[in-house]
Chain A
Amino acid sequence: MKLRPMLIALLAFIGMIDALYLSIKRNSGPIPCHITRGCTDVLTSKYSEVAGVPLSWFGLAFYVTVFSLAVFTIFEEPGRPASPAKSAVSVIFYLSGAGLIISALLVGIQAFILKAYCEYCLLSAALVLSIFLLSPHPVRHTHPE
């Protein structure tokens, strides 16, 4: 059973929906908050885009990449040496590690600069953290062939 890559794929799938939803809603008016307060403030702030590109697009690219890598790992033929899936595991680990740092930064901006929270962004941060924790450390999990 390839439980870990399956869980990672599931989390990345949820992340894709989250990022796509935000990308659509960002251009169609106020984004409703149901748990937190200040979704629109966060998502229309100057921190919500980089060089005119909304952060949700970067999030979408991240989740699609992680999902694809996890799917390739799931479909990996067992026992096949030096398969691309092995490097895929490393990429998920480092990619989600970078994503985690960026997510922490964005949560910090919400907490200390904007003083407003967006539940969809917090969900994304939680997803990135979960993906990072689930992704096997490439060094620990690499066995000599």
Chain B
Amino acid sequence: MKPVIVIVLAVAVAAGAAVFLSRQPDRPSETNAAPLTADIKSGGHFRGPENAQVTLVEFGDYQCPSCGAYHPFVKEILNRYPQQVRLEFHHFPLISIHPNSMAASKAAEAAGEQGHYWEMHDALFEYQTQWSDKPDPKPVFAAIANRIGINGTILVQTMDSPRFQERILKDVEQGDRAKIQAVPTFFINGQQVHILLSMEDFVRVIEANLHK
């Protein structure tokens, strides 16, 4: 009987330890970025009122699963605080581990040229699993574009334009200057904010900055 008691106790202790560790706040050293300087605060794509009290700056990668996981929360924040929060998105494709991320950023830019950047931005995250592992994601980008009501053929034909790459690389350069090493990285008022993947934490951070 003794061994069974030891096993049951050990499993219970291991479960307790795992729950305890999983509830510790995540403060990974790899996401410590430098404060944003004035020149980095410009650029990017904006969503929300210009005079919003809080500008949430996101450096993201369309192929990054974490960015995809955070995306619904960012959208919900913009829905909950339509007058108070503005999103500023910067491309930061980690091409060494996400080979389709640059192409996705270009697709978003190409959609932007047709006046639908944010629709494509949302769709790229929402349908991330459909294109992220494809050797050639362009047909999926075209299909996504058609689904959101823009011309997929034109999007694919124009997405390799050097001006899109130039814009994306400008964002990457800004991210490098901010010493960003992981995505998504968020900033509010120039300072990096660590937000857990929960609506409660997002609301907590936004509310704290609204009442500053």
Contact = CB atoms under 8 A, between A and B. Distances in A.
Contact of B197 (A13, A28, A114, A116): A28
Contact of A46 (B3, B18, B133, B198): B133
Contact of A32 (B18, B28, B96, B98): B28
A37 B182 contact: yes
A103 to B, nearest CB: 19
Question: Interface on chain A toward B: helix, strand, loop, or mixed SS?
Answer: helix
Given A16-B10, A30-B69, A67-B10, A75 B3 contact: yes
Interface string B128-157: 000001000000000000000000000000
B161 interface: no
A44 B65 contact: yes
Nearest to B27: A32
Contacts of A16: 10-11, 14, 18
Contacts of B7: 64, 67-68, 71
Contacts of A68: 3, 7
Interface residues of A, number: 32
Interface in A38-70: 38, 40-41, 44-46, 64, 67-68
Contact of A21 (B18, B64, B65, B133): B18
Contact of A116 (B30, B70, B97): B97
Question: Which 6 A-B pairs have CB atoms at the shortest separation, nearest pair first?
Answer: A29-B197, A20-B18, A32-B28, A16-B14, A44-B65, A32-B26
Nearest to B31: A32
A131 B47 CA distance: 53
Interface string B166-188: 00000000000000011000000
A17 interface: yes
Contacts of A46: 133
A41 B14 contact: no
A72 interface: yes
Contacts of A32: 26-28
B14 A33 contact: no
B28 A34 contact: yes
Contact of B30 (A29, A33, A41): A33
B18 A24 contact: yes
Contacts of A75: 2-3, 6
Interface string A3-16: 00000010001001
Contact of B26 (A30, A44, A71): A30
Given A46-B133, A72-B3, A29 B198 contact: yes
